[in-house]
């Protein structure tokens, strides 16, 4: 017959005496599984709770998204990837985990409990990246890796990403038509803030946050040799937030130069509100919606749509994938190729149809 199990003497609320006379705090409360297990372990000089393979740093919240990603990076599957693949996925995970769960929220995805993730959250994440479908795909794969670890660790019982497609349910931002751009410029002439915002978004191809933060000091003139010809080229030195510290020099178009000449210079940033303050990215989006409505344009004419307009025009003009990347600031060649493939397909299709235009005339 086995001897009765000796329990640690309770010395006070939530504490027990360890071998050697020292006391240790116990997890939970009497009756809890963790508490009762600790009462049995403490007399032998063992820690109150058995360490697991997923032991984490104190700064990481247990069963959080960051905890789940930490387990992904410790898995055998992860170490089977190439270094380039691991680096790419780690950068994507770091960026996403550091982002707020909703715009303006204090809670970051890193600290959000995996068990709180719902299908609507995943769909919202994908919708936010509708304009970058390849990134949306990689984000979903990354989240599913975290979910897989959470299922293995019994944190959750249901996969909230089950059968969710990485492609959003709607087309996302679209390019502006030529008629829409003419209508906007007719309503908002040079010298107005809407005109300046339009020109910056169209001719620099930047995202809204970079446009809102653009400063006059970023405008430079460079002496360049292009196709054997020496030229003095005005433009802007851009540091896109999503380009990981890299800079771009984007030359000014004639239209942008004229817009800058007509714009009042009242502060450090090129765009200023009526109150003499820089725009926030969110407020600039809201104001553009007001400006397009005033010009009689339909919904869908957005700042990011002007970025797509530039990419489409460059591709149709014969710009290479590398040129598209260096103007728009893409790191992902697959994303830049979306523009060139669309343009190339249209050109090849027209050329093919031209070849058989008279095949019924004989």
The predicted structure's pLDDT at residue 12: 43
Average pLDDT over residues 116-144: 87
Q: What is the DSSP letter of 278?
A: B
Is pLDDT of 211 > 60?
yes
Is pLDDT of 216 > 90?
yes
Q: Are 304 and 207 in contact (CB under 8 A)?
A: yes
In whole numbers, what is the pLDDT of the chain averaged over residues? 79
Which sign, positive or negative, has the C-alpha torsion 82, 91, 239, 189? Answer: positive
- SS3 state at 225: strand
Distance (Å, rounded) from C-alpha 156 to C-alpha 97?
19
264-284 tens-digit pLDDT: 898 999 999 989 999 998 899
Distance (Å, rounded) from C-alpha 228 to C-alpha 333?
28
- SS3 state at 221: strand
DSSP per-residue codes, 45-93: T--SS---TT---TTSPTTBHHHHHHHHHHSHHHHTS-HHHHHHHHHHH
The predicted structure's pLDDT at residue 152: 93
Is pLDDT of 1 > 50?
no
Distance (Å, rounded) from C-alpha 351 to C-alpha 357?
10
Buried b (16+ CB within 10 A) or exposed e, 168-203: beeebbebbeeebbebbbebbeeebbbbbbbbbbbb
The predicted structure's pLDDT at residue 33: 60
166: Cα separation from own chain's centroid:
14
Is pLDDT of 168 > 70?
no
The predicted structure's pLDDT at residue 114: 95
Q: Are 134 and 166 in contact (CB under 8 A)?
A: no
pLDDT grade for 190, boundaries at 50, 70 and 90: very high
296-353 tens-digit pLDDT: 999 889 998 898 888 888 877 777 767 776 677 666 666 666 666 666 666 656 666 6
20-49 tens-digit pLDDT: 556 666 666 666 666 666 666 666 555 555
Is pLDDT of 89 > 60?
yes
Is pLDDT of 287 > 70?
yes
Least confident span in 164-178, 205-219, 225-239, 328-342: 328-342
């Amino acid at each position: 017959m086995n001897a009765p199990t000796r329990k640690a003497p309770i010395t006070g609320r939530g504490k027990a005496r360890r071998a050697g006379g020292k006391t240790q705090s116990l997890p939970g409360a009497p009756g809890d599984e963790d508490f009762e297990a600790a009462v049995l372990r403490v007399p032998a000089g063992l820690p109150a709770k058995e360490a697991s393979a997923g032991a984490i740093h104190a700064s990481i919240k247990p069963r959080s998204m960051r905890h789940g990603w930490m387990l992904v990076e410790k898995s055998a599957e992860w170490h089977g990837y190439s270094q380039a693949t691991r680096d790419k996925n780690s950068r994507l995970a770091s960026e996403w985990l550091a982002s707020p769960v909703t715009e303006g929220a204090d809670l970051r995805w890193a600290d959000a409990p995996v068990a709180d993730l719902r299908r609507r959250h995943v769909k919202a994440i994908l919708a936010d990246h509708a304009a970058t479908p390849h990134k949306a795909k990689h984000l979903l794969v990354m989240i599913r890796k975290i979910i897989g670890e959470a299922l293995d660790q019994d944190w959750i019982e249901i996969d909230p990403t089950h059968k969710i497609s990485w492609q959003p349910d709607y087309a996302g931002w679209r390019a502006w038509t030529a008629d829409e751009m003419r209508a906007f410029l007719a309503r908002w002439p040079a010298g107005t803030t809407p005109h300046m915002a339009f020109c910056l978004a169209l001719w620099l191809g930047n995202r809204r946050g970079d446009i809102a933060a653009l400063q006059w000091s970023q405008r430079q003139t460079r002496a360049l040799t292009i196709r054997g010809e020496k030229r003095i080229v005005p433009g802007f030195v851009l540091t896109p937030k999503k380009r990981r510290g890299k800079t771009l020099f984007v030359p000014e178009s004639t239209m942008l130069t004229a817009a800058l000449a007509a714009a009042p210079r009242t502060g450090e940033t090129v765009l200023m509100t009526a109150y003499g303050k820089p725009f926030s990215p969110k407020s600039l989006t809201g104001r553009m919606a007001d400006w397009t409505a005033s010009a009689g344009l339909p919904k869908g004419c957005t700042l990011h749509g002007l970025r797509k307009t530039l990419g489409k025009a460059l591709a149709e003009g014969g710009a290479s994938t590398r040129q598209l990347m260096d103007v728009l600031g893409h790191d992902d060649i697959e994303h830049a190729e979306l523009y060139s493939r669309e343009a190339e397909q249209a050109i090849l299709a027209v050329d093919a149809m031209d070849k058989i235009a008279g095949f019924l005339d004989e």
